Structure formats: C-alpha cells, structure tokens
Amino acid sequence: MSFSINGKTAIVTGAANGIGLAIARQFADRGANVMCADMDEKRLQDEWGDAAEEGTVRYFAGDLRQRLTIANLVSATIDAFDRVDILVNGSRQVMPTEALNVEDTSVAVLLEQNLMTALQLTQQVAKRMIKQGADQAEGQLGSIINLSSIAARQTRPELMGYSIASAALEQMTRSMALALAPERIRVNAVAFGSVMSASLKSSVVEHTDWREEIRDHTPLGRIAGPAELAEAVQFLAAESSGFMTGEVITVDGGRSLLDVVAAPAH
C-alpha cells in the first residue's frame, strides 16, 4: 500500500497555527491540494498568502460553528480543486472548566467547537465524497481524520469540558465510521498528548513548570513536535491505512500507559 497523497485534495481545519498548520504543510509538501481553513484570517494570510498563489494551496477564513460557513468552505474547495478526498478536523479549542460552578459554560462551548463543528463538516464533506464517487466502481472514496486528545480517557477537573468534548469526538468517529463504511469512506482519529500544539505552547509559557511535568510523565521523556503528529495523520489519509476505520491512534510518547497523569493533556 502507498503512503502517497500526491494529487489528493484535502481540507484541513485549524490550519493557521500549531498542529493544523503542520498537517497542512505536510500535505502540501507531499503533493496534495490543500484548502487551509481557520477563523484567524490574518494568521492564514501570514502563513499561506504566498503559497496560495502557487496553485496547490488555498485558504478560507470563517467561523466553522456556522452551517453556512461550512457549506461555503466545501464549495470553495470544489471551485478550487474540483473534488475533496481528505478531511482533517483539526480545529480545536481548549479552555478551563470550573467543575462545581453551575454558571460555567465551558462544556457547552467546547462541545460546540470541538464536536459539532467536526460533525457538521464531516456530514457535508461526506455528501460530496459520495456524489463525486458515484461512478467509481471500487476503491475508497475518502478519508476523514479527527484530532482528539488523551484527555478523552485521562482527565483533570479543570479540563472537564475539554475531556468530555474529546470523548464525544472519539465516539462520533466510531459512529460515523460505521455509517460511512458502506460508502467506502473511512473515519479515524488521532489522540495526542505530548505534542506541542498551539494551546500547549501557550500553556507552558504561562505555567513554566508544566513543561517539566509533562516530560516527567512521558515515558519517552520529551514533547513531540507538531510535524510528528502530521506523519500519523498522513498515514490515516493514505491508502496505506485502507483497511482501517473507526480507530483512534494514540500519539503521546507513552503518557496514556501510566496510571497517574499529573500533567495537562492538550
């Protein structure tokens, strides 16, 4: 099986910084057409402005919590590249939860941002994949990859909302995998922990002791770079994982193997 994504068209959300940016760059470097989506238009322009003129990269700015924005993103991708083969739901938000505060809204906010955005975009993209593959007799029609976190299984009270949203995203991954298997569309996820995401980078700046805590609770003894997660996402996007669906791959340096996790999972 081939690890190649050359010539494929991918939508990558959260592509203005951190892990989403690393995945989008990886895909572009490997010959894919990439639509980079994010709410931060200025950061998209800074990161992708020049590349967008080269023909294989475009960017789209908008609030993906809005159904119309999602529809416009899919339309923009089709207008630019005629099809979509890969979707990476990489847009995420991390915020603290006051677990005993009845007025805390973080759970609802994170479910909307981290779960519902991915679900609705998956639904829209899957419809397009099915339509464009109507005349294709065999082979996969598409691959959808969700970015989750080991917080889905190991949590801290202050990350309750993020943990709930991550767990829900993983269950959505399994459910959509079953729903879309007859259509030859695969749905998988990558759960990460010890990866220097944009949210973790800002957290370790604010809490200087967190970096050492994470390293101390990671068997491999380090925090991975975003590009290392991008390799796992490419594997799930390519034909090399053609018989995998409904799976959650863990990329965390071994952190989830430990019984006690004292460091935050982002």
What are the structural domains, with CATH classification, of the chain? 9-257 (3.40.50.720)
Of the listed ranges 70-79, 127-136, 193-202, the one predicted with least confidence: 193-202
Closest by Cα among 163, 189, 38, 157 to 111? 163
What pLDDT does residue 38 have?
97
Q: Which range among 134-138, 143-147, 243-247, 259-263 shows the weakest confidence by mean pLDDT?
A: 259-263
Cα distance between residue 52 and residue 47, in whole Å: 10
CB 100 within 8 A of CB 127: no
Residues 153-195 have pLDDT tens digits of 987 899 999 999 999 999 999 999 999 999 999 999 999 987 7
Q: Enter the DSSP assignment of 224.
A: B
Q: Parallel, antiparallel, or unpaired for β 86-89 and 57-61?
A: unpaired
Over the stretch 20-65, which tens digit does the pLDDT of each residue have?
A: 999 999 999 999 999 999 999 999 999 998 776 668 999 999 999 9
Measured CA to CA, the distance from residue 59 to residue 153 in angstroms comes to: 33
| Average pLDDT across the chain, whole number | 90
Task: List, for residues 83-137, the tens digit of each pLDDT value.
Answer: 999 999 999 998 999 999 999 999 999 999 999 999 999 999 999 999 998 777 6
